C-alpha cells in the first residue's frame, strides 16, 4: 500500500510538540481481481488495504475520516491507547456524507497498529469490502537497531485477507452467516496469490491478519523442494511492538487481528523461488466449502544478487519489554465466550444489551489478571481487549508459543476448549472501552462487551 501523507503539520500550542493533520475518504471503488471482470469494494481513500500511515512516536495525529461510502462506519485504530471518544465505539457511527475527526496520541512505543471499521453489526461487511489499513508507529530506539528498513523496500507490510468471488468475478456476498466467513481466495495487500521480487538479503515483513474469520498457519518453503521442509525465520515483534529478543521458528500462527513481524533471510536462496504457505485446517472448518488452494499464499522470486550490500542486522536482544508488574492474585474477572440463545455472547450477554453489557470495572492504573474461557470443542475465538497490552500468563492447553510470551499482545487466540489467563496494566486513560471476539461474524452478533476504567483507586 502507498504511504499516507499529512495535509499539514503544525505545533500543539500546549506542549510545543508536532501535530499532523490527515484526511481519509472512505469511498467505493472497482477493481478487476479477475481480468475484465470488475468487482465492487469500499476502501479508505478508495483502495484496499488503505494507505499506510508511518508516524514517529511523539507526533500527535488528527485524522478526518470522511464517509463517502455506502454504509455507516466507525473507525478503530487497533493497538492505540486512544481516548474513548476516538476509539471507534461500535455505536458511534458516521453516516454516509458525514465525517468525524479522530485524535491519536501516538506516544506508545513502536508497533504496527491498524485501522479498520468497527460499525455496529456491519463490521464484517465493511471490513470484507475493504475497510482496513496499516498504521506504523516507530520510535528512535527501534530505528537505532538497524533492522532491515525502508518502507516498501526491505520493510514490508503483508496484510492478509480472504475473500470469495462469483463466477462473473464479482465479490461474493456472504449475507448473514451465523458462524464464520472464511473465503477461499487469500489476498496479500489486496492481491490474490501475489508474486514478489526480492533480493538475496534480509527483509522485515509485518504480517497482519485482517481477514473476517480465517486464522492462518504460516510457513515458508522452497517452491521446488520438499513442501514439508520448512525454512526457519525470526519473529521480532508482536501486536505491541518488538519482542525482548528474536525468536526462531518455522511455523507462525496468525490469528485474526494479530500482527507478527519477522525477519526473513533470502541470502542463501539466490535465484530460487520461495513460497509462503498456509495450513488451512488451522482455522475452524464450520462449512463444507472446499478450501483448495488456501494452502498457498504468495511467492518470492529471489534475484541473483543484491543491489547494495545488506548492512542490516538481527540483534540478539531487541528491547526491554514493559511487562506489567506481575500480580499473583487470582483472576479478578472471568469471561466465558460461548454461543447462548442463538447469539454469540460473553458471560451470556451480547453487546446489543445496553443494560448488561458493562461486564467489568477496573481501577485505572492497576494491573489485573483476566481469565478468558472458550468451552466449545468446535470454535476458536481470538479475543481483543481495547486500550491495553497484555501478557499471556497461561493457556489451559499448555500450548504457549515462545514468540507469544517474549512480548506483549492485544489479541489472545483462545483455541477450541481452551482457557487463557492474561495480565495487563489498565492505563493510561479512564473511559469505557470494548473487548470482543475478532472473528467479525461473532463480533457483529454479538460477542462484544464493555469495561470501564473510570473507577479511581481507593
| Contact call for residue 441 and Cu ion (CB under 5 A) | no
Of 37-45, 297-305, 423-431, 432-440, the segment contacting Cu ion by CB under 5 A is: 432-440
- Looking at beta carbons only, is 381 or 384 nearer to Cu ion? 381
Q: Give the integer Cα–Cα distance in Å for 294 and 182.
A: 10
Between 201 and 386, name the residue whose CB sits nearer to Cu ion: 386
* DSSP summary character for residue 106: -
Q: Which does 439 bind (CB under 5 to 8 A by kind): ligand C2O, Cu ion, none?
A: Cu ion
Please list, in sequence order, all residues whose beta carbon lies within 8 angstroms of the beta carbon of residue 233, skipping any fewer than 6 positions away: 220, 248, 249, 250, 262, 263, 264, 265
The stretch among 60-68, 242-250, 260-268, 435-443 that binds Cu ion (CB under 5 A) is 435-443
C-alpha cell at 233: 525465520
Residue 358 has φ and ψ, to the nearest 5°, of -80, 100
Residues that bind ligand C2O (CB under 6 A): 76, 78, 116, 118, 257, 384, 386, 434, 436, 438
The residue from 136, 247, 263, 437 that contacts Cu ion (CB under 5 A) is: 437
Q: Closest CB to ligand C2O among 77 and 297?
A: 77
Residue 256 binding: pick among Cu ion, ligand C2O, none (C-beta 5-8 Å cut-off by kind) = none
- The closest of 445, 427, 428 to 436, measured between CA atoms, is 445
CB of 144 to ligand C2O, least distance (A): 30
Contact code string over 378-417 relative to Cu ion, x by CB under 5 A: ---x------------------------------------
Residue 197: name the closest of 293, 268, 266, 294 by CA.
Answer: 266
Contact status: 206 vs Cu ion (CB under 5 A): no
**Local structure of residue 227 (DSSP, 8 states):** T
Residue pair 395/230 in contact (Cβ under 8 Å)? The answer is no
List 254, 269, 442, 450, residue binding Cu ion (CB under 5 A) = 442
In 3D, which of 401, 387, 386 has the Cα closest to residue 238? 401
Cβ 256 to ligand C2O shortest distance, Å: 8
Question: Closest approach of Cβ 444 to ligand C2O, in Å?
Answer: 11
Q: List the single partner that 349 binds among Cu ion, ligand C2O, none, CB under 5 to 8 Å by kind.
A: none
State the Cα–Cα distance between residues 199 and 320, nearest whole angstrom: 31
Diameter of the chain measured on Cα atoms: 65
Residue 381 touches which member of Cu ion, ligand C2O, none, C-beta under 5-8 Å by kind:
Cu ion
Minimum distance, C-beta of residue 78 to Cu ion, in the bound complex (Å): 16
Among 225, 303, 282, 235, residue whose Cα is nearest residue 263: 235
Decide whether 245 or 384 has the Cβ nearer to ligand C2O: 384
- Give whichever of 277 and 384 is closer to ligand C2O, judged by the CB atom: 384
For ligand C2O, the closer CB: 206 or 384: 384
Distances (CA, A) of 141 to 56, 81, 109, 242, 353: 11, 20, 9, 11, 44
Q: Which residues contact 396 (CB under 8 A, 6 or more apart)?
A: 418, 419, 420
Q: Binding-site residue total for Cu ion (CB under 5 A)?
A: 4
Q: In angstroms, what is the minimal distance from the CB of 336 to Cu ion?
A: 12
Residue nearest to ligand C2O (CB): 78
Minimum gap (Å) between residue 443 Cβ and Cu ion? 7
Residue 439 is a binding residue for Cu ion (CB under 5 A) = yes
Question: Sheet of 259-265: strands edge to edge?
Answer: 191-192, 185-188, 155-163, 202-209, 259-265, 233-238, 241-249
Least distance to Cu ion from the beta carbon of 285, Å?
15
Please identify, using beta-carbon distances, which residue of 94 and 123 lies nearer to Cu ion. Answer: 123
> What is the SS3 string spanning 332-380?
CEEEEEEEECCEEEECCECCCCCCCCEEEECCCCEEEEEEEEECCCCCC
State how far the Cα of 106 lies from the Cα of 72, in Å rounded to an integer.
Answer: 26
**Judged by CB, which is closer to Cu ion: 425, or 442?**
442
- The distance of closest approach from Cβ of residue 274 to Cu ion in the complex, given in angstroms and rounded to an integer, is 33
Our CB check for Cu ion shows the closer of 116 and 277 to be 116
Q: How far is the CB of 73 from Cu ion (least distance, A)?
A: 22
Residue 306 in grid coordinates? 543484491
Closest Cα partner for 297 from 217, 239, 353, 407?
A: 217
Which of 447, 444, 343 shows the shortest CA–CA distance to 71?
444
- 187 or 277: whose CB is closer to ligand C2O? 187
Q: Residue 212 or residue 302: which is nearer to ligand C2O going by CB? A: 212
DSSP conformational letter for 403: H
Q: How far is the CB of 441 from ligand C2O (least distance, A)?
A: 14
How far apart are CB 210 and ligand C2O at their closest, in Å?
A: 9
Query: What residue ranges bind Cu ion (CB under 5 A)?
Result: 381, 437, 439, 442
Amino acid at each position: 500500500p502507498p504511504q499516507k501523507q499529512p495535509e499539514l503539520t503544525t505545533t500543539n500550542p500546549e506542549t510545543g510538540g508536532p501535530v499532523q493533520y490527515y484526511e481519509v475518504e472512505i469511498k467505493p471503488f472497482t477493481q478487476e481481481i479477475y481480468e475484465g471482470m470488475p468487482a465492487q469494494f469500499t476502501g479508505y481513500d478508495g483502495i484496499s488495504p488503505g494507505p499506510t500511515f508511518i508516524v514517529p512516536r511523539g507526533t500527535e495525529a488528527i485524522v478526518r475520516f470522511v464517509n463517502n461510502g455506502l454504509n455507516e462506519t466507525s473507525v478503530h485504530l487497533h493497538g492505540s491507547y486512544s481516548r474513548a471518544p476516538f476509539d471507534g465505539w461500535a455505536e458511534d457511527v458516521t453516516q454516509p456524507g458525514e465525517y468525524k475527526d479522530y485524535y491519536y496520541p501516538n506516544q506508545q512505543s513502536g508497533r504496527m497498529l491498524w485501522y479498520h471499521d468497527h460499525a455496529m453489526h456491519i463490521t464484517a461487511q465493511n471490513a470484507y469490502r475493504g475497510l482496513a489499513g496499516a498504521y506504523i508507529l516507530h520510535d528512535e530506539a527501534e530505528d537505532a537497531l538497524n533492522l532491515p528498513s525502508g518502507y516498501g523496500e526491505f520493510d514490508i507490510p503483508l496484510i492478509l485477507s480472504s475473500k470469495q468471488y462469483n463466477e462473473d468475478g464479482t465479490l461474493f456476498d456472504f449475507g448473514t452467516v451465523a458462524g464464520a466467513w472464511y473465503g477461499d481466495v487469500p489476498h496479500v495487500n489486496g492481491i490474490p496469490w501475489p508474486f514478489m521480487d526480492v533480493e538475496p538479503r534480509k527483509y522485515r515483513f509485518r504480517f497482519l491478519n485482517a481477514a473476517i474469520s480465517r486464522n492462518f498457519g504460516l510457513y515458508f518453503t522452497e517452491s521446488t523442494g520438499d513442501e514439508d521442509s520448512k525454512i526457519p525465520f525470526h519473529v521480532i515483534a508482536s501486536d505491541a511492538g518488538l519482542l525482548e529478543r528474536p525468536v526462531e521458528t518455522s511455523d507462525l500462527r496468525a490469528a485474526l487481528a494479530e500482527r507478527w513481524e519477522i525477519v526473513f533471510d533470502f541470502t542463501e536462496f539466490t535465484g530460487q523461488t520461495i513460497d509462503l504457505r498456509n495450513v488451512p485446517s488451522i482455522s475452524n472448518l464450520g462449512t463444507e466449502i472446499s478450501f483448495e488452494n488456501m494452502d498457498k499464499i504468495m511467492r518470492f522470486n529471489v534475484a541473483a544478487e543484491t543491489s547494495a550490500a545488506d548492512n542490516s542486522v538481527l540483534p540478539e536482544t531487541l528491547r526491554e519489554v514493559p511487562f506489567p508488574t506481575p500480580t499473583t492474585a487470582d483472576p479478578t474477572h472471568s469471561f466465558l465466550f460461548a454461543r447462548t440463545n442463538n447469539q454469540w455472547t460473553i458471560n451470556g450477554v451480547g453487546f446489543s444489551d445496553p443494560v448488561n453489557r458493562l461486564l467489568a470495572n477496573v481501577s485505572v492504573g492497576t494491573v489485573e489478571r483476566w481469565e478468558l474461557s472458550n468451552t466449545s470443542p468446535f470454535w476458536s475465538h481470538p479475543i481483543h481487549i481495547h486500550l491495553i497490552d497484555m501478557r499471556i500468563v497461561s493457556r489451559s492447553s499448555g500450548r504457549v508459543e515462545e514468540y507469544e510470551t517474549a512480548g506483549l499482545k492485544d489479541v489472545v487466540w483462545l483455541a477450541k476448549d481452551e482457557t487463557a489467563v492474561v495480565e495487563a496494566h489498565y492505563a493510561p486513560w479512564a473511559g469505557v472501552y470494548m473487548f470482543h471476539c475478532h472473528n467479525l461474524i461473532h463480533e457483529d452478533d454479538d460477542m462484544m462487551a464493555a469495561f470501564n476504567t473510570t473507577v479511581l483507586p481507593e
